Amino acid sequence: MRRIALINQKGGVGKTTSTVNLGAALARAGRRVVVVDLDPQANLSLHLDVQLRSGEPSSYTVLLGNGTVDSALRDTKTPGLRLLASNIDLSGAELELSNAFGREMILRDALEQWEQRWRAEHNEAPADYVLLDCPPSLGLLSVNGLVAAQEAVIVVQTEFFALQGMTKLVDVVQLLRRRLNPKLEISAILPCLYDNRTKLAREVLGELRAHFPGKVLNRAVAKNVKLAEAPSYGQTIFEYAPESSGASDYRDIARELIAAEARDPELVARYGTPKPAFEPLAAPEPVVTLKPARAPRPKRPAPTETTAAPTETKSEARPEAAPASAPASAATKAVDAVPPVVVAPVGAGPLVAGPEVVAEPAPRAAKTSAAEPETAPTVPASAPSVSTPAASRTAAESEPHDGAKEGANNESNHGASDAPSSSAKPAASGGVQPLPLSVVLPPPLDLDDLPDLPPDAELLPRYVDL
């Protein structure tokens, strides 16, 4: 008969939950299990839906010598699982046993007497496993549980404070082993409330495996809300949520405890040689042959910035290279973007910028002339010239020197007088033929050098086909 004490002086780490569900998992595996509640809070009894009134047979009456173990045992809903319950009376046991002789060994003597009587009657042990749920302290009740047990399973939470308390607990177990129970040993460390999503939980579990090699169980009990809900219904996790992850965890932990039955000849004779908790694979894993990788595709060369040669279209004509007298600057580009307003007398043809300009009739000239009003707005006689801010700014920036300025004025005068006859047709219809946007114009004219306009001059707006 294996007697195992689940111990930790820190509360809330999962001792009671592990005792109940681990006992239920062993009972479902065909083992005879007895769970002992040594906590005055009686959480283990409530978990199995057992509530005792004061004075009823319990662990308190067994410790005080007012009853035997077999008389205080109760059956549970799980076949093969029995309970030695507790109640609030147990809280006064430490004070009442403070002056008793050999008070640390009272529970061990009670369990041994129960086993001897049962063996005498049935020629076998009364149970296969006795699980002792110790209170969250290192008082007299916990000492009784450790002295009565042969194995100690330390239930630890995967957090920093739980790891710090391991040193104190190990020292207590070693002290009890030297003085009161030479058979006591730490058989396993059970990590509970494990959350593999957090780095802290993984680090704590790694530290436990490094400091206690071979003692930490392979399966850690993960956080699961079903484990917290099951006590409120008075059921084990296998009754409340058998398909949950908590049920799977305790089922695997029970397999690990059963695998350690090889050290107990009586259990081996009763149930045979136990199988390992995690059986190796029957066949080696197949070797996956990967296909050879494809040759990498040649990378395309990065595009280089090149100046494309100008192309001519039927609707637009590209001028030849500008003369040296007209420097290519940012001002020239600004003239293309914001053209100045053209002023022409009534009845005259359109102003031609220079001999470099090649004006061809655009395909939308008919629509443009049709959309224009019959009469243009009149300009008062007191306004001899009209200029725009953009034209004034570009003219000031693009003025290279005085010689180029005079040459441009002369060329503009000759161009205005020698305009071809074909360009006068749009003027007769009351519109001005717009120049293509791709035409590069020379520096704008200085409006101050133009002759004064007659009183009947009209301002003709210039339309640009965008």
Per-run averaged pLDDT (10 residues), the chain, 466 residues: 92 92 94 94 93 89 91 93 93 87 92 94 93 91 94 91 82 91 92 91 90 90 93 94 94 93 89 72 46 67 61 48 47 48 48 47 47 46 44 46 46 44 43 53 63 59 50
- pLDDT the model gives residue 335: 44
- pTM value? 0.60
Cβ 29 vs Cβ 126: under 8 Å? no
For residue 85, the SS3 value is coil
The DSSP symbol for 363 reads T
Cβ 186 vs Cβ 215: under 8 Å? yes
Based on the fold, state whether residues 77 and 222 are members of the same structural domain. yes
Based on the fold, state whether residues 161 and 244 are members of the same structural domain. yes
Q: Per residue in 218-231, pLDDT tens? A: 999 999 999 999 99
- pLDDT the model gives residue 255: 93
CATH code of the domain containing 79: 3.40.50.300
Based on the fold, state whether residues 337 and 254 are members of the same structural domain. no
Is 283 within a domain? no
Is 343 within a domain? yes
Is 385 within a domain? yes
Based on the fold, state whether residues 107 and 237 are members of the same structural domain. yes
Residue 248, amino acid: S
Is 309 within a domain? no
- pLDDT the model gives residue 78: 93
Based on the fold, state whether residues 105 and 247 are members of the same structural domain. yes
Cβ 220 vs Cβ 155: under 8 Å? no
Closest CA to 35 of 52, 18, 51: 18
Is 397 within a domain? yes
Based on the fold, state whether residues 347 and 247 are members of the same structural domain. no
Count of C-beta atoms within a 10 Å radius of residue 328: 10
Give the range of the structural domain holding residue 25, as residue numbers without chain letter.
2-271
Based on the fold, state whether residues 262 and 339 are members of the same structural domain. no
Cβ 145 vs Cβ 5: under 8 Å? yes
Based on the fold, state whether residues 167 and 21 are members of the same structural domain. yes
Return the bridge partners of 81, or none: 33
CA dihedral 96, 99, 104, 110 (to 10 degrees): -60
- pLDDT the model gives residue 299: 73
Total number of domains constituting the chain: 2
Is 323 within a domain? no
User: Where is the domain boundary, 271, 289, 320?
Assistant: 271
